[in-house]
């Protein structure tokens, strides 16, 4: 007979939200600028709030407001790291686990001691050198490119986690396509396209018919409420980050010469 509950050790891959100011108004404005107001951007990622770079700890923290803000973008906060001591109690009451500053383990977690090392041999005994082992370490395989062989309709959203995405058929107004890599659209791109979602500044957005509502690469975005230049509207084009003379990244829209 199977047990009604069982516990097994495991590991959790989590997003880190490095918070430098516990001011929810400033955080909301910054996230809106970075993500273009796109709700559910992170698609349910477990998240650790990292306060290791906090500039100045306030006397009180609005944890409920911060958690609500993060959840608005699809993040699921589960713990807080390096929280100031006077804010620990309120963080726990908000449902957050408290992580140790050094190890990252949850406070109260039982530490498991490693086996004691074997006694060193006496000085008179010769010690044979350890045999050299050649390890053939191959790099991990690259993530497969996501290929979508249908149009994305209004209200639909696609996220290519860790890879590029190729869309054959176009993206309608109101649809969203997100990729950690580049976005290739063979058809009209009319919705929202967000490439380099995890900070890849080399990502690009390429389409045979440029007409989007919003494009973003690594958090740098542009909207087109005032329309597009005639040289770009409905034409083959790509969006790419270029550094100016001051090293600042700007999002450029450039025509593609396919003929």
Q: What is the pLDDT of residue 210?
A: 93
Q: What is the pLDDT of residue 141?
A: 54
Q: What is the pLDDT of residue 16?
A: 83
Tell me what the mean pLDDT of segment 47-68 comes to. 89
Distance of CA 186 to the CA centre of its chain: 26
Residue whose C-alpha is closest to residue 39's, from 28, 48, 50? 28
Percent of the chain residues past pLDDT 70, beyond the cut: 76
* Domains of the chain listed by start with CATH number: 15-99 (3.30.70.260), 146-255 (2.160.20.70)
Q: What is the pLDDT of residue 10?
A: 62
Percent of the chain residues past pLDDT 90, beyond the cut: 22
Question: Confidence band (pLDDT; 50, 70, 90) for 183?
Answer: very high
Tokens encoding 56: 């100045």
- 177 CB contacts (<8 Å, ≥6 apart)? 152, 157, 158, 160, 165, 167, 171, 183, 185, 191, 192, 193, 194
Question: Confidence band (pLDDT; 50, 70, 90) for 39?
Answer: low
Q: What is the pLDDT of residue 3?
A: 75
d(CA 97, CA 215): 36
pLDDT digits (tens, 9 = 90+) for 237-248: 999 999 877 778
pLDDT digits (tens, 9 = 90+) for 98-138: 887 654 444 433 333 333 333 444 444 555 555 554 445 45
Tokens encoding 258: 């396919």
Q: What is the dihedral of CA 131, 136, 137, 140, to 10 degrees?
A: -160
Q: Judging by beta carbons within 10 Å of its beta carbon (0-12, 13-18, 19+), is residue 226 exposed, middle or buried?
A: exposed
Q: What is the pLDDT of residue 202?
A: 93
Q: What is the pLDDT of residue 129?
A: 56
Number of Cβ within 10 Å of residue 170's Cβ equals 21
Q: What is the DSSP string of 35-59?
A: HTT-TTTTSSEEEEEE-TT-SS--S
Q: Report the chain's mean pLDDT, rounded to a whole number.
A: 79
Tell me what the mean pLDDT of segment 77-86 comes to. 90
What are phi and psi for residue 158, nearest 5 degrees?
Answer: -130, 135
The model's pTM? 0.50
Q: Are 178 and 203 in contact (CB under 8 A)?
A: no
């Amino acid at each position: 007979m199977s047990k009604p509950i069982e516990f097994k050790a495991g590991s959790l891959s989590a997003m880190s939200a490095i918070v430098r100011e516990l001011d929810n108004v400033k955080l909301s404005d910054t996230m809106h600028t970075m993500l273009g107001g796109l709700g559910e951007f992170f698609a349910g990622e477990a998240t650790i709030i990292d306060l290791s770079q906090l500039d100045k700890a306030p006397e009180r923290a609005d944890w409920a407001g911060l958690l609500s803000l993060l959840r608005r973008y699809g993040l699921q906060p589960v713990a807080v790291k390096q929280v100031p001591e006077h804010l620990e109690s309120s963080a726990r009451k908000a449902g957050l686990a408290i992580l140790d500053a050094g190890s990252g383990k949850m406070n109260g977690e039982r530490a498991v001691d490693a086996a004691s090392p074997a006694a060193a041999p006496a000085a008179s005994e010769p010690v044979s050198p350890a045999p050299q082992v050649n390890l053939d370490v191959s790099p991990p395989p690259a993530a497969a490119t996501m290929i979508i062989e249908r149009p994305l309709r209004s209200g639909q959203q696609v996220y290519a986690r860790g890879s590029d995405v190729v869309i054959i058929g176009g993206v309608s107004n109101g649809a969203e396509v997100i990729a950690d890599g580049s976005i290739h659209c063979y058809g009209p791109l009319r919705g929202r396209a967000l490439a380099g979602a995890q900070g890849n500044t080399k990502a690009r957005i390429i389409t045979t018919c440029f007409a989007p509502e919003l494009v973003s690469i690594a958090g740098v975005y542009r909207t087109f409420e005032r329309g597009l230049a005639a040289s770009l509207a409905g034409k083959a084009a790509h969006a790419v980050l270029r550094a100016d003379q001051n090293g600042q990244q700007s999002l450029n829209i450039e025509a593609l010469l396919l003929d």
